[in-house]
Chain A
Amino acid sequence: MLRLESVTKRYPTGDMALRDIDLTVPQGQVMALIGPSGAGKSTLIRCINRLVEPTAGEIWLGDQEITRLSARSLRHMRRRIGMIFQEYALVERLTVMENVLSGQLGYVNFWQSWFRRFPQPIVDEAFRLLHRVGLPDFPDKRADALSGGQRQRVGIARALLQNPELLLVDEPTASLDPKTARQIMRLITELAHERGLAVIINIHDVPLAQQFAQRIVGLRAGEIVYDGPPDGLISEVLTDIYGEEDWSTAAEDDNAAATLPTAIEAR
Chain B
Amino acid sequence: MTQASPSRRWSPPPLIRNPFQRWALILGAIVYLLLAISTLRIDVARIIQGLDRGSRMFAGFLQPDFVSRWTDIQAGILESLTMTVVATVIGVAISIPIGFGAARNVAPLPIYLFCRAWVALARTFQEVIIAILFVVMMGFGPLAGVLTLSFTTIGFLAKLLAEDIEEIDPSQVEAIRATGASWLQVMTYGVLPQVMPRLVGLTVYRFDINLRESAVVGLVGAGGIGSTLQTAFGRYEFDTAGAILLIIIGLVMVTEIASGVIRKQLQ
- Chain A contact residues, CB within 8 Å of chain B: 49, 51, 75-79, 81, 83, 85-87, 89-94, 98, 102-107, 110, 113-114, 155, 158, 162
| Minimum CB–CB distance for B100 against chain A, Å | 15
B188 lies within 8 A of A106 (CB): no
Do B179 and A91 touch across chains, with their CB atoms under 8 A apart?
A: no
- Measured between alpha carbons, how far is A94 from B175 in the docked complex, in Å? 13
Contact A162 B179 (CB under 8 A): yes
Task: From A83, A91, A110, give the contact of B194 (CB < 8 A).
Answer: A91
- Asked whether B178 is an interface residue with its Cβ less than 8 Å from the other chain, the reply is yes
Cβ of A85: which chain B residues have Cβ within 8 Å of it? 171, 174-175
Q: Which of B171, B174, B176 contacts A105 (CB 8 A)?
A: B176
Asked whether any CB of chain A lies closer than 8 Å to the CB of B31, the reply is: no
Cα A110 to Cα B182 in complex, Å, equals 8
> What is the chain B residue whose CB lies nearest that of A78?
B180
CA distance A89 to B179 in the complex (A): 12
> How close is B188's CB to chain A, nearest CB, in angstroms?
6
Given A102-B189, A105-B185, A105-B189; A76-B180 close (CB under 8 Å): yes
Partner of B176 from the list A79, A91, A155 (CB cut-off 8 Å) is A91
Q: A79-B179, A102-B179, A158-B179 are in contact. Are A51 and B174 (CB under 8 A)?
A: yes
What is the number of residues of chain B that contact chain A, defined by CB distance less than 8 Å? 21
Instruction: Please name all residues of chain B whose beta carbon is closer than 8 Å to the beta carbon of A98 when the two chains form the complex.
Output: 189
In the complex the two chains form, is A90's CB within 8 Å of B175's CB?
A: yes
Question: For residue B76, which residues in chain A have a CB less than 8 angstroms away from its CB?
Answer: none
Q: Does the CB pair A114–B188 fall under 8 Å?
A: yes
The answer to the question of B193 belonging to the interface, with a C-beta cut-off of 8 Å to chain A, is yes
Q: Which residues of A contact B184 (CB under 8 A)?
A: 110
Interface residues of B in 186-207 (CB under 8 A from A): 188-190, 193-194, 196-197
Additional pairs, 17, CB under 8 Å, beyond known A75-B182, A105-B180: A75-B181, A83-B175, A89-B171, A90-B172, A91-B175, A91-B190, A91-B194, A92-B193, A93-B194, A94-B189, A102-B179, A103-B179, A104-B179, A106-B180, A107-B180, A110-B185, A162-B179
Q: Which residues of the other chain, B, contact A90 by a CB distance below 8 angstroms? A: 172, 175
Q: Is the CB of A106 within 8 A of B179?
A: yes
A105 lies within 8 A of B172 (CB): no
CB of B69 within 8 A of chain A?
no
Contact of A89 among B175, B181, B185, B196 (CB under 8 A): B175
CB-nearest residue of chain A to B196? A93
Answer whether residue B177 sits at the interface, using C-beta atoms and an 8 A cutoff: yes
